[in-house]
Structure 1
Amino acid sequence: MLALILNSLEDSKAEDIVSLDLAGKSALADHMVVASGRSHRHVGAVADHLLRDLKNAGYGNARVEGMPHCDWVLIDIGDAIIHIFRPEVRTFYNVEKMWSADSSAPTQFIG
């Protein structure tokens, strides 16, 4: 599942993809993935592509927030939470730093 998410984001040309292992650290999910899109349109396209890939793989019950504005789209599939940001919004919220504060550095995905 994590590989599917990372590959979909890479295929969509998402930028600065970071994967955080939350297993044992949070009841929210086992994995959190954070990525950036270059613009509102790119964030929306990356999210649409990921949702299509997840549905095709049997994860069709994803909960999605933020699609109308595409500044920050959150996709929750239960075992993983995916955040797709515009760069300025990502910098402002700095979600990956908050979640990696008590663990080792986040894993940068380079495919």
Structure 2
Amino acid sequence: MPGTPRKKAAAAGPKKTAVKREPVQPDVLTKMLSIITASLEEDKAEDIVVVDLVGRANFADRMVVATGLADRQIAAMAHHIEKKLGEEGFNRVLVEGANGSDWVLLDAGDIVVHLFKPESRELYGLEKMWSADLDSSESEVAVGKGEEQG
């Protein structure tokens, strides 16, 4: 078969390895979640939503979505969450987009926090995408209905 081993590996793509996350203790998850939501409330975040991801995603157990009105407010909220989690011993918090963007992501391992400006939050609609409503068959949209009324 022509090609070097490196080219063959590149063509095959990344190895498929299923990584199982160990479930976090409920009290640890509750503590982290209370630190995050309290910090957001102190920083005047708007429309704070917590989405349960257990059994629906393997990257986290909870997702927190909140809105800030300005870049500086969003960056400050991210900094305060990171600092307060660190003070409680949760040091592995990764922050993306904190340098003045419409969307900042904090990955605290078991909890993922999304901080948006209002227009970006509406555009991406993450809490709608991950809500339990989409899992039920009642929320399915019938294709073709209502198009031929006239």
Task: Name the TM-score, length of structure 2 as normaliser.
Answer: 0.66
Query: What letter is aligned with 2:110?
Result: D
The equivalent residue for 2:99 is: 68
User: How big is the shift at 1:58?
Assistant: 1.1
**Runs ≥4 residues deviating over 3 A:** none
RMSD (CA atoms): 1.1
- Report which stretch shifted further, 12-21 or 64-73: 64-73
The equivalent residue for 1:108 is: none
Query: What letter is aligned with 2:83?
Result: R
Q: Find the partner of 1:46 among 77, 94, 99.
A: 77
Measured in 1, the distance between the counterparts of 2:48 and 2:101 equals 17
Gaps of 5+ in 2: 1-31, 137-150
RCO higher in 1 or 2 (8 Å CA, sep ≥ 6)? Answer: 1
Q: Find the partner of 1:95 among 104, 126, 146.
A: 126
Measured in 2, the distance between the counterparts of 1:79 and 1:67 equals 20
| SS state at 2:69 partner | coil
Residues paired across the two proteins, number: 103
Larger radius of gyration: 2
Alignment deviations for residues 16-49 of structure 1 (CA, whole Å, 9 cap, x no partner): 0000011111101000000000111111111111
Query: What letter is aligned with 1:46?
Result: M
Identity of aligned residues (%): 50
Measured in 2, the distance between the counterparts of 1:58 and 1:70 equals 28
Higher strand proportion: 1
Task: Name the TM-score, length of structure 1 as normaliser.
Answer: 0.88
Alignment pair present for 1:83 and 2:78: no
